[in-house]
Amino acid sequence: MRLILLGPPGAGKGTQALRLVAKYGIVQLSTGEMLRAAVKAATPVGREVQEIMARGGLVPDSVVVSIVGQRIEQPDARKGFILDGFPRTVPQAVALDRMLATRGLGLDAVIELRVDEDALVRRIESRIAEMKERGEELRPDDNPEVLHNRLRAYRQQTAPLIAYYRHQEVLRTVNGMAPIADVTAAIDKVLPSDPPAGAREADGKKKSEELNS
């Protein structure tokens, strides 16, 4: 199973990704987490992107495309993966299509978590307040001003992917404003199930025909 979770910051992509990882035994590939790890380790990539991330801008396509390209080559991604935070621009989506095509792979679904922007800002602000209360470490980009930039980047550069994937007929939209368990149930409903029995039979028939010929 190869999936993309699409939605603005705070839409619940990470939460739903964890549920899908457990359900399908596939890995979650979060470009945000990979980049934060690079920043923390002060690698050359980390040093290049640190400031952009702190401002809430998007890091260059070439950087994330190369990170994802290497990551999906790892053995643990063979069974499938959930991309969380990638692609975020149309050129990234085109690069992903190419990467998958050269490996003879495709996407099973792109799940769009649709949320209301005002509610989103309130959701993130309360998440920040709760984390502060618990004394947890905040991300440098978790503040109201930077959040505004992250939302703008989403509207301008990522939202066009909705039409891109609708055109490819892989887009599945669910209401991200519902309670967590309801969003999970809605995602389960839109994901492709096993191939229908008819398809399996046809496949078996084809194989026996090949054997007989």
Interface residues toward ligand ADP, by CB under 6 A? 9, 31-32, 35, 52-53, 56-59, 64, 85-86, 88, 92, 141, 150
In whole angstroms, the minimum distance from the beta carbon of 143 to ligand ADP comes to 12
Catalytic residue status for 13: yes
Q: Which of 79, 127, 189, 205 is catalytic?
A: 127
Output the 3-class SS for the chain.
CEEEEECCCCCCHHHHHHHHHHHHCCEEEEHHHHHHHHHHCCCHHHHHHHHHHHHCCCCCHHHHHHHHHHHCCCHHHCCCEEEECCCCCHHHHHHHHHHHHHCCCCCCEEEEEECCHHHHHHHHHHHHHHHHHCCCCCCCCCCHHHHHHHHHHHHHHHCHHHHHHHHCCCEEEEECCCCHHHHHHHHHHHCCCCCCHHHHHHHHHHHHHHHHC
Least distance in Å: CB of 197 to ligand ADP?
39
| Closer Cβ to ligand ADP, 151 or 171, answer by number | 151
Contact indicator for 176, 7 with CB cutoff of 8 Å: yes
N residues, the chain? 213
**CB 99 → ligand ADP: shortest distance, Å?**
13
Catalytic, 155? Answer no
The residue whose Cβ lies closest to ligand ADP is: 32
To the nearest whole angstrom, how small is the minimum distance from the Cβ of residue 183 to ligand ADP? 16
The neighbour count for residue 68, using CB atoms within 10 Å, is 23
Quote the CA–CA distance of 197 and 186 in Å, as a whole number.
Answer: 24
Q: Catalytic pick from 2, 13, 36, 172?
A: 13
Smallest separation, CB 31 to ligand ADP (Å)? 3
Q: Which of 2, 36, 123, 150 is catalytic?
A: 150
Identify the active-site residue in 122, 139, 205, 207. 139
Does residue 47 carry a catalytic annotation? no
Catalytic residues, by residue number, are 13, 88, 127, 139, 150
